[in-house]
Structure 1
Amino acid sequence: MAANHLYLVDGSGYIFRAYHRLPPLTNKHGEPVGAVYGYTTMLWKLADELHRADGPTHMAVILDKSSSTFRNAMYDQYKAHRPPPPEDLVPQFPMIRDATRAFSLPCIEEEGWEADDLIASYTRAALAQGWSVTIVSSDKDLMQLMTDPSVDMLDTMNNRRLGPEAVVEKFGVGPDKLGDVLALMGDSVDNVPGVPGVGPKTAAKLILEHGDVEGVLAAAASDTFKKGKLRDNLIEHAEAARLSRKLVELACDVPLEHPLDELVLQGIPEAPLRAFLEHHGFKTLLGRLGQVADAPVEAPASVPFAEDPPCDHDSYETVTTVDSLDRWIAEARAQGFVAIDTETTGTDATRADLVGVSLALGANRACYVPLGHGGSDLLSEVPVQIAREDALARLKDLCEDPAVLKIGHNLKFDMIVLGECGIAVAPHDDTIVMSFDLDAGLHGHGMDELAATHLSHSCIAYKDVVGTGKSQRGFHEIDLKSATRYAAEDADVTYRLWKRFKARLPAEGSTRVYEMVDRPLVPVIAQMERHGIKVDRERLSGLSAEFSGQIAGLETVIHGLAGAPFTIGSPKQLGDILFERMGVKGGRKGKSGVYSTDVTELERIAADKDSAGAEIAARVLDWRQLTKLKNTYTDALQNEINPKTGRVHTSYSLTGAQTGRLSSTEPNLQNIPIRTEIGRQIRDAFIAEPGHVILAADYSQIELRLAAHMADVPQLREAFARGDDIHSLTAQELFGEVTRDTRASAKTINFAILYGISRWGLAGRLDITADEAQAMIDRYFERFPGINRYIAETLTQVRERGFTQTLFGRKTHFARIKSKVQHERQGAERAAINAPIQGTSADIIKRAMVRMTPALREAGLEGTRMLLQVHDELVFEVPDAEVERAREVIGHVMATAAEPAVKLTVPLGVEIGVGASWGAAH
């Protein structure tokens, strides 16, 4: 009979890993469950893998019960610097205990003892009976327990077993001396004092030379020890070292409330686990049991999946011969699909060089093709690789083969990188877009998060491969074994995600938006990013100088108003000036004790003309805007100009905005002020090449037009059909007359209502009382009852289903729509009101972008190129000879972009301007 093998799971470590790994989620009861979900998936994965490995006979999860233990009685500052657990994590602790018991595992915790002490005591008890013990953790304190060969550790984060050799590798001593090393070096997290100036290497050297802490202290007190700061610190902090030795020592004699025999592992009974998962609506996890529940908040699993085997990094192949590459390509062609990923020298796709390509044909059937590995200097060793031109020729045939589907994650990046090598990628599927179309609003869509959420897998971290800080290397400098494990895993995980998402799309009604809107947009965005837009460096430099002068002038004025110089960018100093020195009333302090000086607060003060701080608040707002624009645009844009192309290449995200709008970074072009003179000046720096002009095509009031259609508002539909000024119509309906002031108020109300604004929000916008604002909202709904009905129906549906939908079927989930926290719930409601309208607007402009290039080419407009998409606007660079025809084609494509999938009852207005710069085109 095999010997008993006890597994002790450090549950506290699992909890915090789960909390930080997943975004905030709520269950169908409105309770926060992000950590609960992550913990449950991690525990289930562990149980599955151990079962396959014929692992434990006995198992328990050990948790911390209280923050105060015997160590606090010994040293009242022990763990004193640790912040309290996050507010939304605290209510999840009881649910995590329920999760553990749902797996029918003992959940052990005892007052006055840390989980580490319980683990140590159970380990000693098990060893006394001749058992083997595995501690599921990577905690350095628990490494002290590996003095017996029957004890090891399982690091599930990195999927590896740890023995005594891992302790020697990390700390320079064996487990029997680890406590002494930990005592000397101290621990800032647990506030173990240690000895100042003694790090891991010094501590290990001292212990190896002198045996233990007492030996080190005795040596330091002798005349033979080398004089210097180290000796002085050891003598001065000798008692702190002795105290630290007691603090890091694990208690091995805790009374065992649950005897070892009670920890026997008897499998996972389905009933309690099913009840737990159904209570929280964890649909993906219920799918493993063969049944799904209603109203989940995490990624649904309407299609059951056979579990893939764990990622086996040792199974991945490094392809270094043409024959091997040909074999992989032949297999890809035979099965008709392949997952693909690129490794590069940087994260800017338009500037990075290709280092290698990974392919995956199935779970654990993945490879890495190195193309540019080797050190940065002439003497560095270059590993064996296929000749670059030979590999690229073969990969080009594969990537451009219309019979082979190429699958990528954020494939836009790979399309740009490969495009720079003369390789097009088609046809394609993109798992980041699939995930977004299925689960927008539930979680992020990065590969690491999706692997954790859907595959219960922790991907190798990039920093663990290349390092960080000064020791960081380029990926091209990484040895091929490490590079293959990392790169091939990306392709492997991409394949596994694709298999799940591909089946879910039709089952959950998301095929339409994926196929008609987002999937065909990926190569369009890639081409736009590659082309970029020309920017006038001299114009930007001149603006920076101009802004610097204005900023300096504002600083002088602000200091004069304050009566003394101070750091305007310091919220603390500004708060003290306004609320202490100048006596402004109504100041509010945050938890840090610093007065709030955010934009809302400064606008409040500036609006009160009788306030002593009104003028200074207004000037600070001007100073902040100028400083932000200078730092973000006129300075930064000069650094963003690609030296190879002389153009700026912004990076678009198809998953950056929850409602489906595109977002841009490096640089972010969405935040340039739209209607200010300064914003126009910045746009003037975006220019056309000689012989070309910039054409800007903007949807006119598209969200109001969509609201008229979706809410079925006859007055608005008819007004748009006639081409009336919609804000004047609203002013007439609400105020009985159209003046400059009533039209401005009507314009504010038109847009604010669609964003679910509250009475207090509208009151602040219009500078009226909350009661007056409510009366105005009531009047608006009375005049336009369709809007009120639309809002009510939208909120009813999102509360029932957990998501809203656009006219093209795009879902946006609102996990906090039933939250018991009022401001969270109200925030979700406001966002849900606008999501179908804003999302439909995003879908329409995306459809216009997909159709644009084919329409231009069909019209013979070969020189017209689409450069930018910002809000409701498309920006083009057009040869002088093509302007009039391009204007017609672009206007027609944008106006009819919804058809034939959606037939709108209002026309889509498109305003087009042309000029030498983006600013001039408006």
Structure 2
Amino acid sequence: MTFGKGCHLHLVDGSAYIFRAYHALPPLTRKSDGLPIGAVAGFCNMLFKQVEDSKGDDAPTHVAVIFDHSGKSFRNEIYPAYKANRPPAPEDLVPQFPLTRDATRAFNIACIEKEGFEADDIIATLAREAREAGGRVTIISSDKDLMQLVGGGVEMLEPMKGVRIDNEGVEAKFGVGPERVVDVQALAGDSVDNVPGAPGIGIKTAALLINEYGDLETLLERAGEIKQPKRREVLTGMADQIRMSRELVRLDENVALDFSLDDLELRDPDPEVLLPFLAAMEFRSLTKRIADTLGVDSADIPAPAPAEDTPEAPGLPPIDPDLYERVDSMEALARWVAAIHERGYVAVDTETTSLDEMQAELVGISLCVEPGAACYIPLGHKKGGADDLFGSDALAEGQLPLAGVLALLGPVLEDPAVLKIGQNIKYDAKIFARHGVAVAPIDDTMLMSYALYSGLHNHGMDALSQRYLGHAPIPIKSLLGSGKSAITFDRVEMDTAVRYAAEDADITLRLWQLFKPQLHRAKVTTVYETLERPLVPVLAEMEMNGITVDRDTLSRMSNAFAQKMAALEAEIHELAGERFNVGSPAQLGEILFEKMGLEGGKKGKVGKYSTPADVLEDLATEHELPARVLDWRQLSKLKSTYTDALQAHINPETGRVHTSYVQTGANTGRLASTDPNLQNIPVRTEEGRRIREAFVAPEGKVLVSLDYSQIELRILAHVAGIESMKQAFRDGEDIHAATASEMFDVPRDEMTPETRRRAKAINFGVIYGISGFGLARNLRIPRSEAQAFIDRYFERYPGIRAYMDDTVAYAKEHGFVETLFGRRIHTPEIGAKGPQAGFARRAAINAPIQGTAADIIRRAMVRMPGAIADLPVKMLLQVHDELIFEVETAAVDRAVPVIREVMEGAADPAVRLSIPLVVDAGQGANWAEAH
């Protein structure tokens, strides 16, 4: 069929399809060999939809999928820094690129790419040729750069939303018609592609200028007439850069192609080619669906032929727990030790009687030196198994003595020439440390996964094994049971323990072999090597140090809270006009929504009211009773979670509380604290702050607290380029007072505490993407007033809005955001709709700021042991932006400057901040006095 009038050409932006498919779907691997195929699966579904949609009056007669070539384009010769800021493709996406080309050809669709040119240039050339031949063109892409081609029979189709983009659509996007898109882009530049443009001029301003002067050349020739000094200076001084930017964004419509439009004629897929390809990819449901569409019995699908030019990937032995060795002699252990020395690394795991590393007893050790070669060394299994009601505390036979095992294995675990690999190895290191063995050096698969995939999934071993190895590990509940009848691991029968424990080491080694090379490919090696791995021993030492907690102080607080709760209950009953159970959401709901007639009441499935905190916070902006209930609930939580529960966490041997830090607990890099959680002790209320009085220093010592002052606001000022805010920080001003003065036009000497408090709430709220609803709750003011504050804030600091919009756009394009130190936080929900969309947007905006702050304090913690090594100082706790130390009283004046210097200089030399970091220090007999 000769291409001409009446023909309709579909040009599919293949590279955009690939990235959309990759970010839209969770990681997926081929079960037979672990090959990543998630993007290929999504790409094939898109191609199938393209085939199915190729019917009807508007169907294409010709179609092609165009890809970017892997090499550089002619634009790099014009400007070597072109696209220099773009991160490399995710490591698990790289092997999928050639497979998407194979998929295109398998669907019998023309697959096009050309060295030295981008896909957009080929699309531009084909669109021109089709237009000149009298045909229609639909470009299937959401790439704004292609909008310059629209018009004269060429339109765009946004594939996900099905929205068609014509001349009016382009004007709505750029403020100009397609013929002037290049001029606007040349001025506005493109941070993603590193097109410099005219600094300070965005899309809207560029469109205004082009519409006023007609075209870019006229604008540059008459730039001296522009009244705004900065704009005039940029346009006159950077005319050459702007013209160069125009050459970068202008698409080449004259690429020399070795085929004609006639070669792109639509062809039906060949089942004998397509179905074997899909079967080889192991897309079972898609294979069946397409087979049904093509009228082929899935049983008749021919087997895929092996590719002659593709070497066979070396396969790993299957995970078979029945093959693991039980080490029951010192001779056998000696053979394993020799194998470890020969290999140079070993995956190690411990089995214990408890998750509390400070009290758990060591039951056994598992080792693995190569996939499939794993063992378990039983040490502390008791006589009488899980089914023996009267099991003895005596050790079962056939085990090795702990002292002998550690004498032989301990030197290996401490050998600097042998790498010890673990999944959450901090736990195992603490277990060994309690037995006098200092495990080093280490690698941790949990932390590797965190550096690679933060935001995509959790990083527990079972989840990683199923996702990346296609193997479901033996569940621990099958050994220990659950609930009141659960047993401890020392009661597990030894042969059963071998299968479970050695499998953990085997899986850990396989994950390590998979993740280790990906760190470099994904460009997160620095994050892992400088922020994650070196923090493990630091946290382990802090956790083992623990902090002294005074039981008597907690008891007195608990009684005081009980009395205050009783007084609040009486006040609530008086406001309600009757007695009721304040702790009952249903009874409270009846009072609020039936008796008092307040709005917002909702009943659950059982017909009773729900009164969650957000509902009460809304009501508390206008009514006293819900405000008092919130105060009562706060005290109730403090009593149950801290003053009562903390007493149970005091270690009987040390008299201290030993929290455990979780490095992977938050997507942004913030540490989490468990058993007990010391991160969430409230500090906004007087009662919450009093909890800290129970954390005390031993005799002759004091607690010293050093806290970054407003670190997230400082980072926001830096990344958003808010000059007035940066200057206030440089001058050491009260930033909240400065913000209040800026926003409300109030002189500093007339500032009221209430005005400053409102500015402070907005300052911190904006970092977390607070809404008018949220600010109204925080300040307990009407929503309209709160929203007016936020609107005024963005008017005064427009750079913050620009930072937010740019960050969300980056997240949508790349599927992740980054901290200043290169930590990636993936944002898989950024394209979601409904309520989830707002949450995803706020998370993406906040992550680079909170994550950068978290990275800075991590860097400080990693450097701290070396800095305080010669001082009588112990680092005990980290709570967000604060570090707490135990210091001999006489050494405080020497210690504080050393610690402060480490913290204030923690960002250097990796990141040079445009604002100073300031650390406040305090000391006292207890944490409350020190903070």
For normalisation by structure 2, the TM-score amounts to 0.66
Q: How does 1:630-709 map to 2 (within 5 A)?
A: 630-709=639-718
Q: Distance in 1 between matches of 2:526 and 2:412?
A: 28
SS at match of 1:697: strand
Q: Is the counterpart of residue 752 in structure 1 residue 772 in structure 2? A: no
Q: What's the counterpart of residue 538 of structure 2?
A: 524
Q: What's the counterpart of residue 423 of structure 2?
A: 409
Taking only aligned residues, the RMSD between alpha carbons, in angstroms, comes to: 2.9
Given that 1:30 and 1:817 are in contact with CA atoms closer than 8 Å, whether structure 2 keeps it comes out as: no
Q: Is the counterpart of residue 809 in structure 1 residue 841 in structure 2? A: no
Given that 1:431 and 1:498 are in contact with CA atoms closer than 8 Å, whether structure 2 keeps it comes out as: yes
Q: Is the counterpart of residue 269 in structure 1 residue 283 in structure 2? A: no
Q: Distance in 2 between matches of 1:779 and 1:621?
A: 30
Correspondence for 2:594 among 580, 602, 606: 580
Once the 2 structures are TM-superposed, how far is the Cα of residue 438 of structure 1 from its aligned partner? 0.6
Q: What's the counterpart of residue 499 of structure 1?
A: 513
Given that 1:534 and 1:689 are in contact with CA atoms closer than 8 Å, whether structure 2 keeps it comes out as: yes
SS at match of 2:349: strand
Q: Distance in 2 between matches of 1:311 and 1:892?
A: 50
SS at match of 1:269: helix
Q: Is the counterpart of residue 628 in structure 1 residue 631 in structure 2? A: no
The number of residue pairs the alignment matches comes to 646
Q: Is the counterpart of residue 818 in structure 1 residue 831 in structure 2? A: yes
Q: What's the counterpart of residue 784 of structure 1?
A: 797
Given that 2:380 and 2:395 are in contact with CA atoms closer than 8 Å, whether structure 1 keeps it comes out as: no
Q: Distance in 2 between matches of 1:854 and 1:885?
A: 15
Q: What's the counterpart of residue 840 of structure 1?
A: 852
Q: What's the counterpart of residue 128 of structure 1?
A: none
SS at match of 2:421: strand
Q: Distance in 2 between matches of 1:31 and 1:727?
A: 39
Given that 1:532 and 1:867 are in contact with CA atoms closer than 8 Å, whether structure 2 keeps it comes out as: yes
Task: Tell me which amino acid in the other structure corresponds to 2:674.
Answer: T
Q: What's the counterpart of residue 51 of structure 1?
A: none
Q: Is the counterpart of residue 854 in structure 1 residue 866 in structure 2? A: yes
Q: What's the counterpart of residue 621 of structure 2?
A: 607
Task: Tell me which amino acid in the other structure corresponds to 1:809.
Answer: G
Once the 2 structures are TM-superposed, how far is the Cα of residue 305 of structure 1 from its aligned partner? 7.4
Given that 2:622 and 2:780 are in contact with CA atoms closer than 8 Å, whether structure 1 keeps it comes out as: no
Q: How does 1:469-480 map to 2 (within 5 A)?
A: 469-480=483-494
Q: Is the counterpart of residue 349 in structure 1 residue 361 in structure 2? A: no
Q: Distance in 2 between matches of 1:311 and 1:276?
A: 29
Given that 1:749 and 1:762 are in contact with CA atoms closer than 8 Å, whether structure 2 keeps it comes out as: yes
Deviations 1:639-692 (A, max 9, x none): 000001110001110001111100101111111111322122110100011110
Change (3 A) 1:470 1:543: closer
Once the 2 structures are TM-superposed, how far is the Cα of residue 345 of structure 1 from its aligned partner? 0.7
Once the 2 structures are TM-superposed, how far is the Cα of residue 563 of structure 1 from its aligned partner? 4.3
Given that 1:305 and 1:500 are in contact with CA atoms closer than 8 Å, whether structure 2 keeps it comes out as: no
For normalisation by structure 1, the TM-score amounts to 0.67
Q: Distance in 1 between matches of 2:448 and 2:22?
A: 26
Change (3 A) 1:883 1:315: same
Once the 2 structures are TM-superposed, how far is the Cα of residue 426 of structure 1 from its aligned partner? 0.6
Q: How does 1:169-568 map to 2 (within 5 A)?
A: 269-270=279-280, 273=283, 306-375=314-383, 378=392, 382-568=396-582
Q: Distance in 2 between matches of 1:494 and 1:481?
A: 20
Q: What's the counterpart of residue 918 of structure 2?
A: 909
Q: What's the counterpart of residue 742 of structure 2?
A: 733
SS at match of 1:595: coil
Q: What's the counterpart of residue 255 of structure 1?
A: none
Deviations 1:853-890 (A, max 9, x none): 11011xx20x2000000010000000112111110111
Once the 2 structures are TM-superposed, how far is the Cα of residue 344 of structure 1 from its aligned partner? 0.4
SS at match of 2:408: helix
Once the 2 structures are TM-superposed, how far is the Cα of residue 719 of structure 1 from its aligned partner? 1.3
Q: Distance in 2 between matches of 1:770 and 1:380?
A: 67
Give 5+ residue unaligned stretches, structure 2.
1-17, 38-102, 104-274, 290-303, 306-311, 385-390
Given that 1:366 and 1:488 are in contact with CA atoms closer than 8 Å, whether structure 2 keeps it comes out as: yes
SS at match of 2:594: helix
Deviations 1:89-116 (A, max 9, x none): xxxxxxxxxxxxx9xxxxxxxxxxxxxx
Once the 2 structures are TM-superposed, how far is the Cα of residue 619 of structure 1 from its aligned partner? 2.4
Percent sequence identity over matched residues? 52
SS at match of 1:684: helix
Given that 1:29 and 1:818 are in contact with CA atoms closer than 8 Å, whether structure 2 keeps it comes out as: no
Give 5+ residue unaligned stretches, structure 1.
1-25, 49-101, 103-264, 280-288, 291-303
Task: Tell me which amino acid in the other structure corresponds to 1:419.
Answer: A
Correspondence for 1:895 among 883, 894, 904: 904
Task: Tell me which amino acid in the other structure corresponds to 1:826.
Answer: G
Change (3 A) 1:470 1:698: closer
Given that 1:864 and 1:886 are in contact with CA atoms closer than 8 Å, whether structure 2 keeps it comes out as: yes
Q: Distance in 1 between matches of 2:866 and 2:395?
A: 48
Given that 2:896 and 2:921 are in contact with CA atoms closer than 8 Å, whether structure 1 keeps it comes out as: yes
Q: Is the counterpart of residue 873 in structure 1 residue 885 in structure 2? A: no
SS at match of 1:920: helix
Q: Distance in 2 between matches of 1:568 and 1:678?
A: 19
SS at match of 2:930: coil
Once the 2 structures are TM-superposed, how far is the Cα of residue 788 of structure 1 from its aligned partner? 2.2
Correspondence for 2:808 among 795, 807, 827: 795
Deviations 1:365-402 (A, max 9, x none): 10011111123755756121122111011221011000
Higher mean displacement: 397-406 or 595-604: 595-604
Task: Tell me which amino acid in the other structure corresponds to 1:347.
Answer: L
Q: Distance in 2 between matches of 1:471 and 1:590?
A: 34
Change (3 A) 1:608 1:888: same
Given that 1:27 and 1:815 are in contact with CA atoms closer than 8 Å, whether structure 2 keeps it comes out as: no
Q: Distance in 1 between matches of 2:517 and 2:810?
A: 25
Q: What's the counterpart of residue 715 of structure 1?
A: 724
Q: Distance in 2 between matches of 1:488 and 1:356?
A: 10
Change (3 A) 1:633 1:465: same
Task: Tell me which amino acid in the other structure corresponds to 1:618.
Answer: A
